[in-house]
A and B are shown apart, each in its own frame.
Chain A
Amino acid sequence: MKKLLSTLTLAAAMVVGGPVLADDYPTKSIDMIVPFSAGGGNDTFVRALQPLLEKQLGEDLVIRNIPGGGGAVGMSRAVASKADGYTLLAASNAMLTLEAMGNVPFKHTDFDFIAKVIEEPYVIAVGGDSQYANLEDLVNAATSGTTIKVGVSGVGSSAHIAAVAMANRTGAEFNIIPYPGGSEAISAAMGGHVDAVVLGGAELRSALQSGRLKALAMSYAERSDSLPDVPTFQEQGYDLTLTVWRGIAAPKGLPADVEKRWVEAIKQIVADGSYEETAKNLGTQVSPLYGDELDAFIDQSADVMREAAGDLAK
């Protein structure tokens, strides 16, 4: 379809099949499970990567949106599929959140992680004309008896956990109000129905750019290029580091040569800079990680999430 249409529209340059390497893998189209519905951060991340990957791998990448259970349905489907490299998962910290909350039948160790591709921080933001000019104001208000209503996307979502972690680390008591999704939470904050929102930086990007919302702090260890003016929690004296990451995973037991093929493809895409601009437009940044480093990163993130989820249970 894609090829057909692009020829039709005289825009074939971008999508024509790239050089096909004489390699065993892949020999047929590859299913990429996105455990969320179309249009979410996970989905857009993969769809933006899709033509580049297809060019590198020389085969079609078929994106399957399997939403449900906050990602649980799609992930359990991925876990249960064959580890032959023809069913992969668009992974993110939602997996670790689900694991930490403890009501899914799989763990992150049931997956082989191929690559982390992009990441973004969690951001706490208030309305553009809010009385709270900085994090300190907000925390002071919250600790001196004002109820601060904080919108998040989805009960038990990673943003929810991040908000709880922020409350605990800053000592502020938040009245956390879950919305069905990020856009509902953002519109509630814009309309002044909540005092603040905690969401991933990408979702907040256009709201922050237009000045409708104002970021008070973000959860990286250091300031980021995508939000240069937003201070970190660390520099404001709170020990809190969390990242939203997105990447590619496969069910456990992925053949080494398949993993190598994928890592090469992604490395190539990162190296030639073809994804850089897109990632930036989406409010994320390319920060690739592979192999052992990646595994260590995932394990460590899982620990952080487990700890934060413990906070939620309190």
Chain B
Amino acid sequence: MISGYLDGLGMVLQLGTLLAIAGGTLLGIIMGALPGLTSAMAIALLLPVTFGMPPVMGIGMLLGALCGAGASGSIPAILLNIPGTPSSVATTFDGFPMAQKGEAGRALGLAIVASFFGGVASMVILSLLAPPIAEFALRFGAAEYFSLSIFGLVIIASVAGKSLLKGLIAGLIGFFASTIGTDPITGVGRFTFDQLSLLTGINLLPALIGLFAVSQVLKDAFEYDPHQRLEESTHRIDIARPRFLETLRHWKAVVAGILSGSIVGPIPGAGGSIASLVAYDQTRRFSKSPEKFGTGHAPGIVSVESANNALLGGALIPTLALGIPGEAATAVLLGGLMIQGITPGPLLFDDQSGTVYGIFLAYLVANVFMLLIMCLGIKLFIRVLMVPRKQLLSAILVFCFIGVYGVDGDVFNLYLMLGFGVLGYFLNRYDFGTAPVILGLILGPIAESNLRRGLQAFQGDWTPFFTRPISLTFLVIAVGLLALTLWQNYRGNRRTESNASS
């Protein structure tokens, strides 16, 4: 193994390879920071470039794009309350409030360092534990996926705003929206209104951009005050620097992020979007001051961002160890591996040629480049906030259009985006919140299709959902957390009532 790493090191430490990784990382950072452009698009764009390269160089470039995009999604989330991907939704919870307090630089500094820690830790886990973790992921059948999604839905309680009931309604709205389209089990069209664009259901991206970016633009438009001049803006550039020590002080949040990224991330199809939310939820639940979350609390940012890059390593586990990509970005990456003649699977990890170690090291190097480029760029990113409001609003909308249209060139999705924007505006205004909608939209189809797929496989028998150990564990945890939330909520209400009456 040592000699494998030495061989791998030899492949990575070449000028061409390093430049390729740096180039991939830079492109990933740029595309990840633009709302709507995804790491999958960055990798797909680079794929043809890598054909002529040696494997470690080509794959390293693609991994750089993956790593860069995973980290830079935090930039718009923090500065503008716009998550470019589902996994940076949770970054907005504390990142944006902190930025509004004038500490955008601090939020970015925390996010960058946390991403780096998450990425490096996940690379270590990937290289040491990939085969057993992949075996674990294989034990997820319909029952386990269903229970996982129920566990995930409980997170709604954590991200709901002032009213638990309204947060729940928002989650259900997302869940309902997820049933639109071709039914995954029978193939019947549901609420498609003969719209070709609705056949595959509501696209996550227009919903995400609408609910967060457009609704935020509408809120800003409503509150726009021409007399509020720019010089009043309190954003301080001098505090914009990477924050190693502060991040380390929140080591518990970093660990929570790494764990959930590495455990939930490898579960194909479900992990990528919810790992960071799970991290946020757990950090908040086990925090001594849960009430500070959502107001610009550092552990909130740190846990989410470390999870965000840890889950990339997590997602690489089934991709490399089983040849099963969890979502779009790793699916494109898998294509890149196969074109290079690298066949993923358990054998890859026994391979003595050093290629696989070269890939691990390339991923490590990508994380270092990510850290360097983001640190160099941090002061630049903050300047986005110096753009006058009117211009910024229109520029944000223009970028939203590109992101949504660029995915599949479908004008229908632009209407969808605007519709979700208006809906999101009112949901925020009347205390429902938009994050639960996204959770419902992501977890809804996992819950529904796996419940029904399971029932079909078990011939209508419900008991396996409760007797299979992993499934039962998730259900018990979910019920426990729900009970805890209701209890805390009840006590909280009692307290405010008694305060009010006294």
Contact = CB atoms under 8 A, between A and B. Distances in A.
Contacts of B41: 38
Contacts of B52: 6, 11, 13-15, 51
B19 A10 contact: yes
Nearest to A66: B408
Interface in A48-84: 48, 50-51, 63-70, 72-74, 76-77
B208 interface: no
A210 B323 contact: yes
A105 B338 CA distance: 35
7 contacts: A5-B23, A11-B53, A39-B40, A48-B48, A73-B196, A180-B184, A205-B338
B331 A40 contact: yes
Given A175-B457, A207-B345, A278 B410 contact: no
Given A156-B187, A212-B322, A8 B23 contact: yes
Given A2-B48, A43-B44, 10 more contacts: A39-B330, A65-B44, A66-B408, A70-B182, A180-B269, A187-B137, A187-B324, A210-B347, A281-B339, A282-B339
A193 B199 contact: no
Interface of B: 15-16, 19-20, 23, 27, 40-41, 43-49, 51-53, 57, 61, 137-142, 182-187, 196-197, 199-200, 203, 268-269, 318, 322-326, 328-335, 338-341, 343-347, 407-410, 449, 453, 456-457, 459
Interface in A161-217: 175, 177-181, 183-184, 186-188, 190-191, 193-194, 205-207, 209-210, 212
A282 B199 contact: no
A278 B340 CA distance: 8
Contacts of A13: 52
Please list the 5 inter-chain residue pairs (A to B) with the smallest Cβ-Cβ separation, ordered nearest first: A14-B52, A39-B331, A210-B345, A206-B323, A69-B199
A291 B346 CA distance: 43
B186 A155 contact: yes
Contacts of B61: 9
A212 B138 CA distance: 11
A38 B44 contact: yes
B48 A69 contact: no
B196 A191 contact: no
A44 interface: yes
A37 B456 contact: no
Contacts of A282: 335, 338-339
A39 B44 contact: yes
Interface string A1-30: 110011011110111000000000000000
Nearest to B187: A155
Contacts, number: 201
B197 A209 contact: no
A147 interface: yes
A8 B19 contact: yes
Interface of A: 1-2, 5-6, 8-11, 13-15, 37-40, 43-44, 47-48, 50-51, 63-70, 72-74, 76-77, 105, 147, 149, 155-156, 175, 177-181, 183-184, 186-188, 190-191, 193-194, 205-207, 209-210, 212, 277-278, 281-283
A72 B347 contact: no
Given A9-B57, A44-B339, A191 B138 contact: yes
B409 A77 contact: yes
Contacts of B46: 5
B21 to A, nearest CB: 9
Given A38-B332, A209-B343, A210-B343, A76 B15 contact: no
Nearest to A77: B409
Given A147-B459, A184-B269, A66 B318 contact: no
B101 to A, nearest CB: 38
B325 A73 contact: no
A9 B44 contact: no
Contact of A37 (B139, B328, B459): B328
A242 to B, nearest CB: 20
Contact of B410 (A38, A44, A68): A68
A181 B61 CA distance: 26
Contacts of A64: 408-409
Contacts of A184: 268-269
Given A155-B184, A191-B141, A2 B196 contact: no
Contacts of A72: 196, 199
Contact of A191 (B19, B140, B187): B140
B78 to A, nearest CB: 27
Given A5-B23, A194-B457, A187 B138 contact: yes
A275 B366 CA distance: 30
A95 to B, nearest CB: 14
A193 B141 CA distance: 6
A45 to B, nearest CB: 9
